[in-house]
Amino acid sequence: MLDFWYIFGLLVSFIFGVSYGYKKKQHHEQKNLNIGEALVSKKLNDYLFHEQTAGIVVNNVTLSIDGSTTQIDHVLICTKGVFVIETKHYSGWIYGDSKQKQWMQVLFKKRSQFQNPIHQNYRHIKAIQALFDFVPTDQIKSLVVFTGDGEFKTSRPKDVVLLDGIKDWMNQHENHVFTLNRIQFCYGRLEYLRMSDNEQTDKLHLQNLSKR
């Protein structure tokens, strides 16, 4: 019981240490998340609360990288390290493996290809590694989460989970890798260097995507 209240106290101190400006930004982010991203954000925050794990979820992060931009669905910074998370909200049947450039969705006999989200998240990982160059690379981890009622018809690759698999996947990782100070420092650096979360940034990112 003492351990619970100690951890609870740390969590409360951490939450109240976050600025009012962050709360306004988080409210703006929540309004702009799509269904899948909103589900993942909620699941991540529920995980932190129920597992009594100090941490923070930052959504819809756009960073400058190599003269272009990259947009990350979620960055979770917690006592287990830094998790860079790509969300995909799909229905139908899903086919793909870790090495393929394109994965496939089959919905009502219609086939559609989409970029391998593992490869997509690799660019995000490199951007976060550059931002947190003081963090060992093995403490920055990639996760792809599929929401919706899509069903994998091939084996799901490593570090690709369904929404309800987030908890088990997170619990595979060692705790107490980050201190509260390290969490707050990483969060502050991310907030300072990310691009503004607004329509202009989204338009610029779309323009950059069209050039690739």
- As beta bridge partners, residue 83 has 76, 141
Residue 29 has pLDDT above 90, yes or no: no
The pTM of this model reads: 0.83
pLDDT for 65 equals 81
Whether residue 165 has pLDDT greater than 60: yes
**What does the alpha-carbon distance between residue 128 and residue 136 come to, in Å, rounded to a whole number?**
11
Please report the beta strands in the chain, taking only residues with DSSP state E, as ranges in sequence order.
55-65, 68-78, 81-89, 93-95, 102-107, 110-115, 140-147, 151-152, 160-162
52 vs 15: CA distance, rounded Å: 13
Q: Is residue 26 pLDDT above 60, yes or no?
A: no
Q: Is the pLDDT of residue 18 over 50?
A: no
d(CA 71, CA 127): 10
| Share above pLDDT 90 across residues of the chain, in percent, rounded to a whole number | 72
Residue 113 gets which letter from DSSP? E
Q: Cβ distance 178 to 79 under 8 Å? A: yes
Q: How confident is the model at residue 21 (pLDDT cuts 50, 70, 90)?
A: very low
pLDDT at 109: 86
pLDDT of residue 10: 53
β-strands 68-78, 55-65 pairing: antiparallel
